[in-house]
Structure 1
Amino acid sequence: MPVSLPHNAEASAILRGLRVAVDSGLFPAELESDAKWVVDMINNRQSSCADIGIICKDIVYVMTQFDISVKFVSRQANRAAHALAKLALVYDRNFTWEEDFPLSIASVIWEDSLP
């Protein structure tokens, strides 16, 4: 599925996140995204013939099979995800961190943990 459009990339990332949660048995789960338009499309069960509509249908299907929800969070609340996305641009493969995380995003995670 082409992910050249930002919304397609965001929806594809959500779908990959859901699949990781399912494969790891991490449910009930709540996945957060700062892509409001995509989150609204998923949660309102809107369909489209475009690529994003197909991706969103897959997301909704996974959500209905498992106790998983998708919610919108502001970009400021999602800084660790953006740091990871930037890091991912350097690599040609997928990574999953179950306990530790890359040291390059440690400061972002520490700042996010502050009240």
Structure 2
Amino acid sequence: MSVLPKEGDKRWIPPCRGIFRLDVDVSIHANGNLVGAGFLVRDHERTVLAAAARRIGRTETTLMGELHSILLGVGFCMEQDFCPLEVFTDSLLAVHVLSEKTRGIDSLCDDLYDAFISAKEKIVLDFKHVRREANRAAHFLANLAVCVPDAMIWRSDFPSSLLDIVHRDLN
């Protein structure tokens, strides 16, 4: 008997020293034809190190959009050497899939899971659920990505509107 991941916290909790936290979300509009991914990386001191908003291709399901967004965020963190990494999403189903608790229900999910296994071999990675209240900044970025066709990545000089949202996550 396997134990499924449980629902996450309603508040944002910093990672342990030496670990980076990746918060990810997806925003889907126009019946899956307009999809935005948003993610941000913070450290144990709650400092925002990087953030991104990127429009991605169409998606058939919300789950596939979430998994695609997580894959983008993890790839970014690997490129920028933000490791080891904990990944937080407000999709409990995505956490179930990435925890291999629902293996076999969808071949595309299984393929994405295999991609994450490859990432796990390179960096210490844990997938966790967080409630929407503690994931507002990633949600804001995902909605921004839907509105703006160009990818936006910040490593410094974050827009004040993003920092306002980030501070609300921390309360």
Please state which band the TM-score falls in when normalised by the shorter chain: 0.7 to 0.9
1:33 to 76, 89, 95: 89
Aligned-CA RMSD value: 2.0
| 1:108 counterpart residue number | 165
Deviation at 1:56, TM superposition (A): 2.3
Bigger mean CA deviation after superposition, 30-39 or 44-53: 44-53
The structure whose residues are more often strand, as a share, is: 2
The structure whose residues are more often helix, as a share, is: 1
The one-letter amino acid paired with 2:156 is E
2:64 to 3, 8, 11: 8
| 2:115 counterpart residue number | 58
| 2:150 counterpart residue number | 93
Q: In 2, are the aligned partners of 1:2 and 1:51 still within 8 Å (CA)?
A: no
Runs of 4+ that moved beyond 4 A = none
Aligned residues: 114
Task: Determine the C-alpha separation between the residues in 2 that align with 1:55 and 1:106.
Answer: 31
Go from structure 1 to structure 2 and tell me whether the alpha carbon gap of 1:107 and 1:7 turns closer, same or farther (over 3 Å shift): same
**Percent same amino acid at aligned positions?**
24
| 1:75 counterpart residue number | 132
TM-score where L is the length of structure 2: 0.59
Gaps of 5+ in 1: none
Go from structure 1 to structure 2 and tell me whether the alpha carbon gap of 1:88 and 1:2 turns closer, same or farther (over 3 Å shift): closer
